[in-house]
Amino acid sequence: MDKDLSLSGFLLIDKPAGISSFDVIRKLRRQTGIRTFGHAGTLDPFATGLLLLAVNKYTRLLALLDAADKSYEATMFIGKSTSTGDPEGEVTAISKALPDTEKIDLLQSAVLNIEQLKPPAHSALKINGKRAYELARKDIELDLPERPVRIHEFEVLQYDYPYLKYACRVSKGTYIRSLSQWIAQYLDVKAYTLNLRRTAIGKIDVKRSISPELIDAEGLQANLQQASEILDDKEMIVLDAEALKLLSQGRTVLNPGADQVRILILDESGMCHGIAMRQEGILHPKVNLC
């Protein structure tokens, strides 16, 4: 078997606070000797929680996770706002105003009706080829347009002034710092996101993740998760060596069944060899990992 394929898979990392997602990747490169990593969404340095990484050839499967919802728990600090919307920024305003408790009771229904949010100026979005945070650090004023979002679930977990803790499940591209800012405006207070933890990507729970400290060259393979464990909402087909070879050569394979745009192709050991499309009972290769 291709060595890169045998050392391919997904890693579920519980990112600690104080380092960036790319710091985690750099650390894993040093500890494992593997160079090729991809991610299914980064986390801000102050945030913790689930960082889903793809290793070696499985990076080509990350597109299957693009549309996955993400779940978070966040704690807002009420009484101050910061330039970045998190603890790393400079304090921009201080207020002793208290939120209306009746509005807190109505917060769930209000948040679930949100359709658009403005991304934070201190974000990795590109503007004319430059990251927004690079321009913001130079005190260049940015007026980023609002982007469509969906807040699928929202719940206030605890309110104990000056802290308001909530849980949410949101669509791709939703910035929780922006959501906290919207909540602050709704409650007519100053606030920022004090703590943030990603608890799930799709149905993948952070409880399945491990510390990056536990992964080295010897332990890498033992901690790799296969496509069948991460992408279990997709149709999967196990094929024999002959059929796998045909698909890897760009040829088609007979396979009765309903038309399907994306099917994971596995060998008998459970290793993913790529993605195929079934049309009129014929498999057409779309992504070959071998």
List the catalytic residue out of 44, 86, 143, 216.
44
Nearest-angstrom CA–CA distance, 284 and 118: 41
Is 105 tagged catalytic? Answer: no
Distance of alpha carbon 107 from the chain centroid: 25
Kindly report whether the peptide bond that precedes residue 162 is cis, defined as omega within 30 degrees of 0: yes
Integer Rg of the chain from CA: 22
Alpha-carbon gap, residue 187 to 190, rounded angstroms: 9
End-to-end CA distance of the chain, in Å? 9
Please give the C-alpha separations between residue 229 and each of 202, 242, 271, in angstroms, as whole numbers.
12, 25, 11
Residues 6+ apart with CB under 8 A from 267: 238, 239, 241, 244, 273
Residue 158 Cα distances to 155, 161, 163, 167, 242, angstroms = 9, 10, 8, 10, 58
β-pair partners for 197: 48, 73
Q: Which residues are catalytic?
A: 44
